């Protein structure tokens, strides 16, 4: 088993970033064409800056203006309203959240922050702890993307791009208050010139919340509070045109309360989890030649969870404390080449993941002999080009994993401009999810070192119509997944993880966005057929995958009245099953469909201050996303946003 990537020494870092100081050919930091165009530029779909009209994939971009207009408190709330994504939470803010992108399991979606993956060994990600006020934009790439991003990209990629310093001096801040004694505040300052740029920010979020358990008794019936405090800093040095050295650092810590599930006796004990997440990275971006840009990046993501629960079955009953620490390390070198025809990408990456106690932690090790780690080395290449009405993208990647060996994934897409306003594309790609350290090794959790990666083959076809301020799209996809990992037990209750399941994920997404004078309308509909295709010896199997509705629809209508903007948001989710739906089961654990209506308003007091308010679930709809877990009824929030200097 390979060793951990150690952080580079000061000499190594100097060698790593020396080219940015020595190489100084003329190069504009951002091309004039990109500054002048109003068209959205997207990075995630190709790992290179590409105009949205040239993309051959299903992508959504949520920029800073859209984030502020949404009035959402958290990233998870904002993502849950996007097409192609269904979300579930086990209680209020800060509790366990799962995203099903195109019906794929939650761990099968890659979560990236500023180019660094933050998925943890238990399939979770600290995304729910990241402040939405820190986010500059969110890019959502739906569909298999392992040919670009490696493991965990079966459903797609969610890329969070945080706010950075810009030339000049600027400050921003927000204070807000809402239902459940919810308090939110953040402040940031940024600045720079042609050679230096920085941003420093701090954020705080706390709420009394509501009971995580819907039908709670005893202590479980109280409100489950959440507290999160954090900060971030970024710094860039631009010694010459085309060269940038940068540092990004972020840290959040806090407390999440949750319920025990009415296990007797609960008394006055509060189940809770303390969390601490930290991400940092160093990067060097250099224009080596006129047609060659090189980016070196080293980053780490560390996540600590300490869960406190009451073990009522121990003798005598006692508090139980469990600790989980995950450390991800990533070193990458990407080269972007401008060719006579199109653009090419060549990259090499080294990733390692380790789980166990921190170096300074004397607590119990979840592994009896060692703290296992897994590593992966990958090479990837791609070519994207457009000629007249034709466009194409091809990518291939080879991953070499320390446990299961080599894995090759690839993807190809072709697009054609049917008319000036109408274009179509077809796309095919393979993807995989690598078993985590917990899947492979952890005792009591079914650790099985012989596991194979989960694999997927996806095909899709889509059309997009754009004219003026209007855009409509329709897309069909079909994703076949095999070697799904399941926790299996034999007749003697010897249990372990095994590759036994396979699934079919197919669906249709329809979307429209348009401007009618002062009115703006955005609407989307998703049809999803998520089936577990595994069968037992008698041919009986699960027909529907858990917690994924066949139908989801969203509508957002806004109107601008001078300085005032008002909006209504409607979300409809069809019925689901809390567990995989077994055709012969007597109790199908059906969760009813639900519809939510929210109202928003923003008023510009002056050029620096904006007052905003939000009324959520105005009809106080009672519903469940996970059987037995609570959701919020009618609630309100009001805040004041400042941007100036």
Cα 282 to Cα 233: distance, rounded to the nearest angstrom: 12
Ramachandran region, residue 36 (left: φ > 0; alpha: ψ -120 to 50; beta: rest): alpha
Residue whose token pair is 């007249």: 388
Sequence-separated (6 or more) residues with CB below 8 Å from residue 628: 213, 214, 215, 261
Among 13-17, 59-63, 556-560, the range scoring the smallest mean pLDDT is 13-17
185 in helix, strand or coil?
strand
Dig out the tokens for 576 from the structure.
């689901």
Q: Given pLDDT bands bounded at 50, 70 and 90, which one contains residue 36?
A: very low
What confidence tens digit (pLDDT) does each residue in 390-426 have? 999 999 999 999 988 899 999 999 999 999 999 999 9
Contact present, 554 and 598 (Cβ < 8 Å): no
Q: What is the DSSP letter of 213?
A: B
Residue 369 neighbours by CB under 8 Å, 6+ apart: none
pLDDT over 90 for what percent of the chain?
A: 65
Cα 496–chain centre separation = 28
Going from N- to C-terminal start, the domains of the chain cover 10-358+372-644
In contact, 168 and 643? CB cutoff 8 Å: no
Bridge-based pairing state of the strands 109-113 and 156-162? parallel
Q: Which strands make up the sheet holding 156-162, listed edge to edge?
A: 58-63, 135-142, 156-162, 109-113, 116-117
Condensed to tens digits (0 to 9), the pLDDT of residues 499-519 reads 888 899 999 999 999 999 999
- Say how far apart CA 188 and CA 170 lie, in whole Å: 8
Q: How far apart are CA 3 and CA 375, in angstroms?
A: 8
What φ, ψ does residue 128 adopt, rounded to 5°?
A: -70, -15
Per-residue pLDDT tens digits for 568-627 = 999 999 999 887 666 666 656 789 999 999 999 999 999 999 999 999 999 999 999 998
Sign of CA dihedral 90, 91, 96, 98: positive
Cβ 333 vs Cβ 346: under 8 Å: no
* Distance of alpha carbon 622 from the chain centroid: 27
Q: Are 345 and 9 in contact (CB under 8 A)?
A: no
Q: Which two tokens stand for residue 89?
A: 């939470």
Q: How does DSSP classify residue 9? A: P
CATH number of 10-358+372-644, picked from 3.40.50.300, 2.40.170.20, 2.40.50.1070, 3.40.640.10: 2.40.170.20
R_g (Cα) of the chain, nearest Å: 25
Task: Categorize the per-residue pLDDT at 247 as very low, low, confident or very high, splitting at 50, 70 and 90.
Answer: very high
Backbone angles phi and psi of 105, in degrees to 5? -60, 155
Q: Cα 591 to chain center, whole Å?
A: 25
- In angstroms, rounded to a whole number, what is the distance separating the alpha carbons of residues 423 and 53? 9
Are residues 97 and 87 in contact, defined by beta-carbon separation less than 8 angstroms? Answer: yes
**Element (H or E) spanning 266, and its range?**
none
- Supply the pLDDT for residue 614: 96
- Give the span between the Cα atoms of 635 and 560, in whole angstroms: 24
Alpha-carbon torsion 450, 359, 2, 325, what sign? positive
Structure confidence at residue 359 (pLDDT): 44
pLDDT tier at 309, thresholds 50, 70, 90: confident
| Separation between Cα atoms, residue 314 and residue 480, nearest integer Å | 44
Q: How far is CA 536 from the centre of its chain?
A: 34
Write down the pTM of the prediction: 0.90
442-483 pLDDT, tens digit per residue, is 776 778 888 899 999 999 999 999 999 999 999 999 999 999
Q: Which residue has the higher pLDDT, 142 or 322?
A: 142
Average pLDDT over the chain reads 87
Q: What is the mean pLDDT of residues 159-187?
A: 96
Determine the length of the chain.
645
* 3-class secondary-structure state, position 68: helix
The answer to whether residues 381 and 396 touch, using CB atoms and an 8 Å cutoff, is yes
Using DSSP's 3-state secondary structure scheme, residue 53 falls into: helix
With bands split at pLDDT 50, 70 and 90, how would you rate the model's confidence at 19?
very low
Angstrom distance (rounded) from CA 373 to CA 352:
7
């Amino acid at each position: 088993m390979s060793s951990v990537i150690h952080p580079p020494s000061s000499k190594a870092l100097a060698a790593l970033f020396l080219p940015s100081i020595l190489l100084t050919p003329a190069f504009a930091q951002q091309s004039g064409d990109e500054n002048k165009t109003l068209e959205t530029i997207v990075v995630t779909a190709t790992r290179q800056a590409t105009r949205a009209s040239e993309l051959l994939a299903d992508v959504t971009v949520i920029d800073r203006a859209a984030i502020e207009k949404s009035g959402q408190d958290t990233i998870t709330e904002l993502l849950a309203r996007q097409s192609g994504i269904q979300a579930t939470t086990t209680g209020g803010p800060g509790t366990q959240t799962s995203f099903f992108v195109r019906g794929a399991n939650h761990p099968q979606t890659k979560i990236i922050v500023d180019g660094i993956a933050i998925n943890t060994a238990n399939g979770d990600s600290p995304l729910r702890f990241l402040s939405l006020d820190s986010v500059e934009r969110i890019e959502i790439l739906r569909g298999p993307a392992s040919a670009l991003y490696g493991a965990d990209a079966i459903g797609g990629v969610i890329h969070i791009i945080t706010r950075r310093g810009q030339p000049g001096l600027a400050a921003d801040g927000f204070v807000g208050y809402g239902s459940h004694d919810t308090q939110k505040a953040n402040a940031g300052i940024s600045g720079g010139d042609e050679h230096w740029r920085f941003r420093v920010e701090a954020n705080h979020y706390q709420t009394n919340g509501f009971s995580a358990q819907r039908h709670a008794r005893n202590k479980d019936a109280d409100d489950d509070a959440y507290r999160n405090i954090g900060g971030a800093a970024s710094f860039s040095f631009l010694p010459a045109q085309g060269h940038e050295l940068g540092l990004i650092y972020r840290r959040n810590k806090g407390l999440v309360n949750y319920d025990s599930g009415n296990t007797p006796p609960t008394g006055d004990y509060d189940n809770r989890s303390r969390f601490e997440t930290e991400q940092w990275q160093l990067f060097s971006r250099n224009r080596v030649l006129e047609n060659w840009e090189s980016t070196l990046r080293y980053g780490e993501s560390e996540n600590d969870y300490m869960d406190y629960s009451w073990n009522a079955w121990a003798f005598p009953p006692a508090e139980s404390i469990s600790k989980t620490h995950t450390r991800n390390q990533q070193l990458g070198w990407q080269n972007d080449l401008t060719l006579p025809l199109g653009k090419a990408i060549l990259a090499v990456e080294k990733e390692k993941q380790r789980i166990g106690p921190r170096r300074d932690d004397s607590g119990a090790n979840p592994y009896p002999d060692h703290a296992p780690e897994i590593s992966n080395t990958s090479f990837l290449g791609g070519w994207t080009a457009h000629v007249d009405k034709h466009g194409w993208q091809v990518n291939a990647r080879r991953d070499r994993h320390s446990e299961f060996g080599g894995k090759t994934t690839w993807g190809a897409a072709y697009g054609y401009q049917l008319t000036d306003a109408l274009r179509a594309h077809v796309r095919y790609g393979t993807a995989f999810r690598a078993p985590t350290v917990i899947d492979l090794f952890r005792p009591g959790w079914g650790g099985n070192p012989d596991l194979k990666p989960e694999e997927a083959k996806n095909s899709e076809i889509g059309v997009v119509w754009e004219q003026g301020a209007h855009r409509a799209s329709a897309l069909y996809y079909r994703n076949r997944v095999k070697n799904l990992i399941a926790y299996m037990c034999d007749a003697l209750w010897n249990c372990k993880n095994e590759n036994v399941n396979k699934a079919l994920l197919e669906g249709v997404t329809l979307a429209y966005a348009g401007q009618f004078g002062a009115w703006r309308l955005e609407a989307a509909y998703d049809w999803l057929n998520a089936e577990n295709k595994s069968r037992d010896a008698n041919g009986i199997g699960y027909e529907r995958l858990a917690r994924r509705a066949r139908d989801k629809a969203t509508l957002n209508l806004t109107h601008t009245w001078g300085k005032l903007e008002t909006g209504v948001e409607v979300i409809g989710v069809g019925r689901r099953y809390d567990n995989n739906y077994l055709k012969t089961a007597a109790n199908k654990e059906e969760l009813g469909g639900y519809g939510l209506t929210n109202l928003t308003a923003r008023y510009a007091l002056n050029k620096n201050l904006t007052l905003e308010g939000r009324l959520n679930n105005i009809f106080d709809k009672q519903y469940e996303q996970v059987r037995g877990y609570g959701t919020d009824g009618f609630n309100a929030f009001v805040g004041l946003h400042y941007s100036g200097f």
